[in-house]
Amino acid sequence: MTIPRGKVVAIMGISGGGKTTTLRLIGGQVKASSGTVLVDGRDVAKLQGQALYDLRRRMGMLFQFGALFTDMSVYDNVAFQMREHTDLPADLIHDLVMMKLHAVGLRGVAHLMPSELSGGMARRVALARAVALDPMLIMYDEPFAGLDPISLSIIGELIRTLNDALGASSIIVTHDVQESLKIVDYIYFVSGGRIVAEGTADEIRQSQAEYVHQFIWGEADGPVAFHYPASPYRDEIHVVAGHA
């Protein structure tokens, strides 16, 4: 799996297939039992302490459902990384926070608390926080989950726009096929910890592979079974036959 600079790449597949684990491998939260994870030419598994933290500072992460700090204002959420990882003066941090919030259309909510935001607004604030330090790599874990159609479309456009503006690379772990196909450059389908299909949006739409077709169109029947493996149904019920 390769994530080129400047591109938006989606990782799709059923739950438990290894999508979020891939993000954890890239961020160094877990280490691969085999193979190699290279970020900017460096083997993540071999990095320790400060070297790993330095690499993580060049990554942005949008967690599922945003994961904003609930006891901090919108402003303080976006400013958090700048205060934690830089020696920038307060005035410059203020201008940068306003710039990030302006980019996601929410400069006017800087004083609000996360509990005062709608779900879509909270996700946009989380996106502003994810790009606070202009990362080279931005990772999104289910960025479209739980959003209404308008908010979902806005987040999709922001992901694409911010990636292009920053010249960064973006990885989107998602189940939302149709929205993702509008904005991504390449898609990987994973199942059981393996890549089972890959291609551009057009190639994926036209794919005749059964797994891809079932996933794209949300079909109940296909390689991904509806029923979890079990003994025959008739062996697990008690039937009393008789006549009226």
pLDDT in tens, 63-103: 876 688 889 999 999 999 888 888 889 999 999 999 989 88
> Which residue ranges make up each domain of the chain?
8-236
Beta bridge partners of 172: 10, 140
Instruction: Quote the percentage of the chain above a pLDDT of 70.
Output: 88
The confidence score (pLDDT) of residue 219 equals 60
- Residue tagged 């958090």 (tokens): 80
State the fold for domain 8-236: Rossmann fold (3.40.50)
| Pick from 21-25, 95-99, 173-177, 239-243: least confident | 239-243
- Tell me the helix, strand and coil percentages in the chain, rounded to 5: 45, 15, 40
pLDDT-based confidence at residue 8 (cuts at 50, 70, 90): very high
Backbone angles phi, psi at 77, to 5 degrees: -60, -45
Residue type, 119: G
Kindly report each contact of residues 186-189 with a partner whose C-beta sits within 8 Å and lies 24 or more positions away, as own/partner.
186/7, 186/9, 186/10, 187/9, 187/10, 187/11, 187/12, 188/1, 188/9, 188/10, 188/11, 188/12, 189/12, 189/13, 189/215
Whether pLDDT at 244 is above 60: no
pLDDT tens per residue across span 130-154: 888 888 999 988 888 777 788 888 8
| Pick from 28-32, 109-113, 159-163, 227-231: least confident | 227-231
Q: Do residues 140 and 171 make contact, with C-beta atoms less than 8 angstroms apart?
A: yes
Q: What's the half-sphere exposure (Cβ side, CA atoms, 13 Å) at 101?
A: 22
Q: In degrees to the nearest 10, what's the CA dihedral of 233, 219, 203, 36?
A: -50
The confidence score (pLDDT) of residue 66 equals 65
Whether pLDDT at 225 is above 60: no
Name the pTM for this structure.
Answer: 0.80
List the one residue out of 110, 127, 121 whose CA is nearest residue 148.
Answer: 121
Higher pLDDT, 6 or 209: 6
